[in-house]
Amino acid sequence: MDLLNEFKQLVAEFHQEKMEYALCGGLAMALYAFPRATLDIDVLIEPEALEKAKSLAKKCGFVWDAGLMSFSKGSIKIYRLTKIDPDSREPLMLDMLLTTPEIRDVWDSRQILTWDEGSLQVVSPKGLIKLKSMRSSGQDLDDIKNLERIIHES
Q: Is the pLDDT of residue 120 over 90?
A: yes
Query: What is residue 12's predicted lDDT score, i.e. its pLDDT?
Result: 96
Over residues 93-121, mean pLDDT: 95
In 10 A of CB 91, how many CB atoms?
Answer: 13
Query: What is residue 60's predicted lDDT score, i.e. its pLDDT?
Result: 98
pLDDT (tens digit per residue) in 85-104: 989 999 999 999 999 999 99
Over residues 3-26, mean pLDDT: 96
Query: What is residue 154's predicted lDDT score, i.e. its pLDDT?
Result: 66
Structure confidence at residue 109 as a pLDDT band (50, 70, 90): very high
Q: What is the mean pLDDT of the chain?
A: 91
Structure confidence at residue 136 as a pLDDT band (50, 70, 90): low
Query: What is residue 141's predicted lDDT score, i.e. its pLDDT?
Result: 74
pTM for the whole structure: 0.90
Residue 2 φ/ψ, nearest 5 degrees: -90, 105
Q: Using a CB cutoff of 8 Å and minimum separation of 24, what contacts does 87-92 make?
A: 88/1, 90/1, 91/64, 92/1, 92/3, 92/6, 92/39, 92/40, 92/41, 92/62
Domains, the chain, in order of start with CATH, read: 3-124 (3.30.460.40)
